A and B are shown apart, each in its own frame.
Chain A
Amino acid sequence: MDPSQILGAQFGGEGPLGWIFQVIFTLLFIVMIFYGQRIQMYVMIREIQGSLIRLRFIRDKGVKTAIDTIKEIGKPETDPTERVYQFLEYVTILPQSMDPAGIVWKLEHILDIREDRFKDEVRLMAPSADETNVNNLENTLEAAAALNIIYKVIRHFYILGKKTLSLYIIMQIQMLLPLIMREAEAYSSALKAFSYGQPIGDGAGPLVAAKLMHGRRKKKIEKDCVVAKVPLEGRTTYVIKAEGPGGNVGKPGEAIKRVIEETDGKVATIIMIDAALKLEGEKPGEVAEGVGAAIGGPGTEQYKIEESILKYKIPIHAVIIKEDIGDAVSPMRKEIFDAAEVAIDRVKRLIREKTKEGDVVIIAGIGNSIGVGQ
């Protein structure tokens, strides 16, 4: 009995159907031996293609939202579409780091120029927008630009993978896709929040500061930051946050440095409140404590804070509110909003435990102040 007869017997032996199955199985076997990896690659390419279609949809929708918001708020005389597309392509060339001495200041300078340029562009695109809306529109466009770059990078690897048929190029992008898609979806909801001026998860720190300084006299300090002198638990606290309700993070490092210098370094402790990325399995809105400068971003502000506290040997404490990347840039979740009260209790407890009555304390709420007044 030859193998075909054995196989045929397995599926009824006689009749055309048995032969059809026999041929299908034999062909499948041969195809899998020679083209198994290639088939796997095509499956991956198709998966990337599907995600790329979705990314393009998210990007296009984001850009449309940005253009519509500019038209609605800024009331431009000419169509801003072309200018928006130019904005999406802006690049920031980071300073050379071969000789790293002084790179913090070089980076800060470049970032300042970038921010000023972005704001100027927004003012040109939306002449009727006030300062709050200029900040919100700038954030909206930055989110659209982030979506654009994600789409273009994935498209680059997709085309490169198809051209070279290299399994490793395709595989690395396919493996990272779930995380990239999560990030793109997060930026998409961020864009919506920025265009409406809604508070976002990252605003948890400024929210805590706003609640503490509400009803007190505020003073503008450094770039886009406000400070208020608030008596708390028998101590004098300087509460700092980025000026809201426009979308900006300010320069809290510079503001903290200024307050330290104004008080001749006589600060008993600094407490920083910020949103921090949670690990999977942790609940959003969980509050945790620690030490160190709780601040993200490019690192220039953290550097300034660390320099100042080192000079005067000031202890620094951190209160963090946990959330994932999606929550951080999406409209604020109720759990995160409620966590602000828990964070305030922790701040008060820290003040009682770590300082004496009459001491000076700095409290800094770090994050984007969009949708959060003071």
Chain B
Amino acid sequence: MDEEEKPVRRLSSIVLIIIVVVLALSASALYQAIDLYLKQDVASGYYLLIGFLGLAFSIYMLLQTRRRMRRFALKTTPVTTTITCQKCDFKNLREFERGDFILKEAGSCTKCDGTMLISAIYRELKEKVKEERF
């Protein structure tokens, strides 16, 4: 039940070409920046800025596309069934099975032979606790 399926989705070729071109231009701008810096030219600063901006842009684009592709999956959280003995309160936790429902009798207790009852069915989400300002 805990499955994650991914559909086929390729990176657009146009986007890929743009990223490659920007990467090549950024690399040459950085090279030019070093060259001009050695010649003590003030324009080296501009090249450095452009080079880094281009590099940042292309890396960001690549990461964004990867992130989008990862988000393209359907996640399912496991659902837990809790079975409790009506007599001795013994609890048994297991993964949900088809046919389970809350307040269904689920056999007899292994400890005291009392009646076992499905007392809870839920999914537990483990969310990152963020401190909210509001």
Interface, chain A (partner B; CB < 8 A): 10-13, 15, 17, 20-21, 50, 53-54, 57-58, 61, 185, 188-189, 192, 196-199, 207, 210, 214, 244-245, 281, 330-334, 336-337, 371-374
Return chain B residues, CB-CB under 8 Å to A207: 102
18 contacts between A and B (CB under 8 A): A10-B46, A12-B46, A192-B76, A196-B79, A196-B98, A197-B99, A198-B79, A198-B100, A245-B104, A281-B132, A331-B77, A331-B122, A332-B123, A333-B125, A334-B124, A334-B125, A337-B121, A371-B121
Q: Assign chain B's interface to a size class.
A: 35 or more
Residues in B38-90 with C-beta less than 8 Å from chain A: 41, 43, 46-47, 50, 68, 72, 74, 76-77, 79
B131 on the A face (CB < 8 A): no
Return chain A residues, CB-CB under 8 Å to B134: 281
Distance of A46 from chain B, by nearest CB (Å): 9
Distance of A66 from chain B, by nearest CB (Å): 15
Which listed residue (A12, A54, A244) contacts B47, Cβ 8 A?
A12
In whole angstroms, what is the CA distance A371 to B29 when docked?
A: 63
B9 on the A face (CB < 8 A): yes
- Per-position 1/0 for B8-30, Cβ under 8 A of A: 01000000000000000100110
Return chain A residues, CB-CB under 8 Å to B103: 210, 214, 372-374
In whole angstroms, what is the CA distance A139 to B25 when docked?
A: 56
Return chain A residues, CB-CB under 8 Å to B121: 198-199, 331-332, 337, 371
Identify the interface centre among B36, B76, B102, B125: most chain A CB within 10 Å of its CB: B102
Instruction: Please state if B96 and A12 are interface contacts (CB–CB under 8 Å).
Output: no
Instruction: Please state if A373 and B79 are interface contacts (CB–CB under 8 Å).
Output: no
Interface, chain B (partner A; CB < 8 A): 1, 5, 7, 9, 25, 28-29, 32, 36, 41, 43, 46-47, 50, 68, 72, 74, 76-77, 79, 96, 98-104, 120-125, 132, 134
Instruction: Please state if B43 and A373 are interface contacts (CB–CB under 8 Å).
Output: no
Distance of B128 from chain A, by nearest CB (Å): 15
Instruction: Please state if A17 and B43 are interface contacts (CB–CB under 8 Å).
Output: no
In whole angstroms, what is the CA distance A79 to B86 when docked?
A: 44
Instruction: Please state if B29 and A17 are interface contacts (CB–CB under 8 Å).
Output: yes
Instruction: Please state if A373 and B74 are interface contacts (CB–CB under 8 Å).
Output: no
Instruction: Please state if A188 and B74 are interface contacts (CB–CB under 8 Å).
Output: yes
In whole angstroms, what is the CA distance A301 to B47 when docked?
A: 70
Q: A12-B36, A199-B121, A244-B101 are in contact. Are A331 and B47 (CB under 8 A)?
A: no
Instruction: Please state if B102 and A373 are interface contacts (CB–CB under 8 Å).
Output: yes
Instruction: Please state if A196 and B96 are interface contacts (CB–CB under 8 Å).
Output: yes
Return chain B residues, CB-CB under 8 Å to A10: 43, 46
Nearest-CB residue, chain A, relative to B124? A334
Instruction: Please state if A334 and B123 are interface contacts (CB–CB under 8 Å).
Output: yes
Query: What 3 A-B pairs are tightest by C-beta distance, nearest first?
Result: A245-B101, A373-B103, A12-B43
Instruction: Please state if A58 and B123 are interface contacts (CB–CB under 8 Å).
Output: no
Return chain B residues, CB-CB under 8 Å to A374: 103
Nearest-CB residue, chain A, relative to B78? A331
Which listed residue (B32, B46, B100, B124) contacts A371, Cβ 8 A?
B100
In whole angstroms, what is the CA distance A340 to B4 when docked?
A: 31
In whole angstroms, what is the CA distance A50 to B43 when docked?
A: 41
In whole angstroms, what is the CA distance A214 to B1 when docked?
A: 30
In whole angstroms, what is the CA distance A293 to B87 when docked?
A: 38
In whole angstroms, what is the CA distance A58 to B72 when docked?
A: 10
Distance of A370 from chain B, by nearest CB (Å): 8
Nearest-CB residue, chain A, relative to B120? A337
Distance of A181 from chain B, by nearest CB (Å): 10
In whole angstroms, what is the CA distance A245 to B102 when docked?
A: 8
Instruction: Please state if A189 and B76 are interface contacts (CB–CB under 8 Å).
Output: yes
Return chain A residues, CB-CB under 8 Å to B74: 57-58, 61, 185, 188
Distance of A205 from chain B, by nearest CB (Å): 13
Which listed residue (A12, A21, A245, A337) contacts B41, Cβ 8 A?
A12
Return chain B residues, CB-CB under 8 Å to A331: 77, 79, 96, 121-123
Instruction: Please state if B72 and A372 are interface contacts (CB–CB under 8 Å).
Output: no
Instruction: Please state if B50 and A57 are interface contacts (CB–CB under 8 Å).
Output: no
Return chain A residues, CB-CB under 8 Å to B122: 199, 331-334, 336-337
Q: A13-B43, A199-B101 are in contact. Are A330 and B123 (CB under 8 A)?
A: yes
Return chain A residues, CB-CB under 8 Å to B104: 245, 373
Nearest-CB residue, chain B, relative to A211? B103
Q: A50-B68, A373-B103 are in contact. Are A57 and B7 (CB under 8 A)?
A: yes
